[in-house]
Structure 1
Amino acid sequence: MIKPIYKRVLLKLSGEALMKGDAYNINSSIIKNIISEISEIVSCGIELAIVIGGGNICRGISNKIQNIDRSTADYMGMLATIINSLALFDILNKSGIISHVMSAISIEKFLESYIPLNAIKYLEEGKVVIFAGGTGNPFFTTDTTAALRAAEIKAEIILKATKVDGIYNFDPNKCLSAIIYKKITFDEVISKKLEIMDSTAFSFCRDQKLPIRVFSIIKSGALKRVIEGKNEGTLVYV
């Protein structure tokens, strides 16, 4: 039985974390594990909102290498988040987890527009809310979307789920002696020049005193341990 220390959280999933080596796809084993862990935490009363990236489909600014304008590339990235959000929505509902997708971009045909009060209402009803379409504006990442939405719905913490199990002093994929930080302040992250999310999102979280927990979504049971307040990944705090 889970003993959560939080009531309302925002889970930030990176699109790349869904790939597991699969080229521009959603790996079935990873999404199966994510759904299983989401089901477990929602069943214990956690109010869960999700922001998912689109890096497994389109990486936005990286399209500059193909001579695509930055704003156009960012809109492409927003559409990629909508694709991922719809996929997650469908799988969640088929698994018995009632969810809603709310988009910052108006697509009335099949998506509900984002309205903060409606999102909070759904959360209070025990439904999972997925925020799609980024902020609805170019030049902002899904990290910024996660920070803004977390503040708007009054989430207690942002859970940043990645392929890496926390924040290290060096890239653990390149440096075998890299050391993980179990706890670190916002100011220390800045002074050490550690990159965990874009500067706009990070500064916003610091100003709002909104903590961030960075952990690996690939590790079995990691989300559950985070919700229970166990020493999983890295906690960034004021």
Structure 2
Amino acid sequence: MPQNTAQPLPAETPRATGAMPALDGRPRPRPRRRRRPWVFALCVALVVAGALGTAFVFTSVNDTREVLVVSQDVKRGEIIEAGDLSVVRVSVDPALTPLPGSQKAELEGNRAAVDLWAGTLLTEQAVTDSLVPGEGESLVGISLTPGQMPSEPLYGGDVVRIVTTPGDQGEVTDKDPVTVEAIVVGVSRVEETGETVVDVSVPEGDAADLAARAATGRVALVLDARER
């Protein structure tokens, strides 16, 4: 009879598990994970940062006050109306001195001492109860091309000089050019011509001469130092 040559099947290899069997067949306890000190320190830092952020937000919210803000543009000399101002609650830098919101009704009917732009805080220096031009002064409008004035934007209150330029033939004399000192009251741009009309306040005695020179177009505007 033929001999049985079949070999016995190998025993199944035990599946890998989380615990390795010991020599006696009992599972070994899993090794404990090491705690990483930096993870604990990071958690503590996050908790502290969150607490500080909460404290900062709480302080900022409670350190606000009601102040006046310009809600729409007001040119220098124009009357401030009820719709030109709004009351907002903000956290104000101690270096700023905006007018409190409680004075809104008192300021209506006053005039803008400078050009007021929407979105800016209203200060005491920006409001006046006097008319523009003041007593002994006259307002003259001068139309200027880009080449007759600096590219630096002009603002109400700027001190400028209106200088007479050479004639049509470009003649230059040894005489000093005639200049008239003035204060900028308002600035507007004429889109059709690209020119800028600058309203300046000058002494009454200089107004007629300046208007005549400006009408010839042979003038230029010079901006003097703003720091005085």
- Which of the five TM-score ranges fits, normalised by the shorter chain? under 0.3
The two structures have a TM-score, normalised by structure 1, of 0.21
Q: Which structure has more RCO (C-alpha within 8 Å, separation ≥ 6)? A: 1
Tell me which structure has the larger Cα radius of gyration. Answer: 2
Structure showing the higher helix proportion among its residues:
1
Structure showing the higher strand proportion among its residues:
2
The two structures have a TM-score, normalised by structure 2, of 0.22
